[in-house]
Amino acid sequence: MKLIFYLSGDFEELAEIEAETFFEIFGGRTVEKGSQIAVGECSDEILNHLSKFGLIHEVSKHLFSCRSLKELEDEFHNLKIPEGKICVRVKNIGRKKVDSMKLERELGAILWRRGAEISVSRPQHVIRVYFSDRIHAGLLIRETNRKQFLLRRPDLKPFFRPGAILPRIARSLVNTAGIKEGILLDPMCGTGTILIEAGLMGLEFIGFEAYRKIADGCAVNLKYYGLPANVMAGDVRKMCLKDEVVDGIVTDFPYLQSTKTLGEIHELYTLAFQEFERVVKRKKRIIFLTNLDVDELASEHFCVEHKIHQKLHKSLTRRIYICRKR
């Protein structure tokens, strides 16, 4: 099936890779990208996984794509009208391209003249028209419940430490790891944001955390969401795991210039990368967040597929490395 994903504008680069990963793990690929839009093809199996999205705001069944208003109206004159009450909703992406309310009325009127039953307040079908680099139209299938991520904000969890990542980013990263079934590892799990998002999606997970007090706090957070407390006090540089047992790694390095108590920073990265390479299965993804450029070291161990820069504030830019074990 062909789908349109409407993506987050805040973290668009990561959202694009999350979308691409979804298409790929369900046997397909992205066929077109535009501002905040990814159009792709994949198997129908994806329909059972739409509640997992992190930075994908909406998904629609693709109807058509075109370039001009004239072509859009022509398409509406020939569109197969779905049975039941319908309405048209137009979305400008980026700067205002059209008067969306006026266009919704005009497109709705075309369908009404062709015999469609229109209901703006209680539609059974919504025809979504996105004005991105091109115009894309689809039948809306699902909108992501974004409120859930606010309700799981780090400061609303029973155990809180500053520096925890946002749940919607954590979820997108877990999705980008591309694990359909299997175990996700976060070897520096802190308060457990990544583990919680993985667990809520039904994935198995393992967490390590250097400080026992934080590992215990992470266990409290996991239990709060009804998840197993699969977290241990342990060191990323020497994990008590067998070789090639996990199906993906998502983790967030400490944002320090040097870890005085836990050894020198270069040693931390060198030994952590050796361990990542050892414990993850072949061809699986390793995703890590850091404030450092570690391209050379990472390339010695993995294939670096993407690197995203995210400016958090004046003196802190986060790098997201998306790698794959060779």
Ligand X SMILES: C[S@@+](CC[C@H](N)C(=O)[O-])C[C@H]1O[C@@H](n2cnc3c(N)ncnc32)[C@H](O)[C@@H]1O
**254 binding ligand X? (CB under 6 A):** yes
**164 binding ligand X? (CB under 6 A):** yes
Structure token pair of residue 34:
């535009």
Would you call 138 exposed, middle or buried from its count of C-beta atoms within 10 A (0-12, 13-18, 19+)?
A: buried
8 Å CB contact between 43 and 1 = yes
Query: Which of 36, 60, 191, 290 forms a contact with ligand X (CB under 6 A)?
Result: 191
**262 binding ligand X? (CB under 6 A):** yes
**112 binding ligand X? (CB under 6 A):** no
Shortest distance, position 143 Cβ to ligand X, whole Å: 26
Query: Which of 60, 193, 230, 290 forms a contact with ligand X (CB under 6 A)?
Result: 193
Residue 130 CB neighbours (<10 A): 24
Taking the least distance from each CB to ligand X, the nearer of 130 and 288 is 288
Taking the least distance from each CB to ligand X, the nearer of 107 and 231 is 231
Query: Which of 17, 56, 137, 188 forms a contact with ligand X (CB under 6 A)?
Result: 188
Taking the least distance from each CB to ligand X, the nearer of 101 and 316 is 316
Would you call 107 exposed, middle or buried from its count of C-beta atoms within 10 A (0-12, 13-18, 19+)?
A: buried
Q: Please calculate the CA angle 99-94-68 and round it to the nearest 5 degrees.
A: 55
* Ramachandran bin of 31, using left for φ above 0, alpha for ψ from -120 to 50, beta for the remaining angles: alpha
- Which x/- pattern over 203-222 shows residues binding ligand X (rule: CB under 6 A)? -----xxxx--x--------
Amino acid in position 279: V
Structure token pair of residue 276:
């990542």
Shortest distance, position 171 Cβ to ligand X, whole Å: 12
Strand arrangement, sheet containing 316-324: 231-233, 204-209, 183-186, 248-252, 285-290, 316-324, 303-313
Cα gap 280→264, rounded to integer Å: 24
**194 binding ligand X? (CB under 6 A):** yes
**30 binding ligand X? (CB under 6 A):** no
Query: Which of 247, 252, 275, 277 forms a contact with ligand X (CB under 6 A)?
Result: 252
Residue count of the chain, please give it: 326
Query: Which of 39, 236, 246, 249 forms a contact with ligand X (CB under 6 A)?
Result: 236
| Shortest-Cβ-distance residue relative to ligand X | 190
List interacting residues with ligand X (CB under 6 A): 161, 163-165, 187-188, 190-191, 193-194, 208-211, 214, 235-237, 252, 254-255, 259, 262, 268
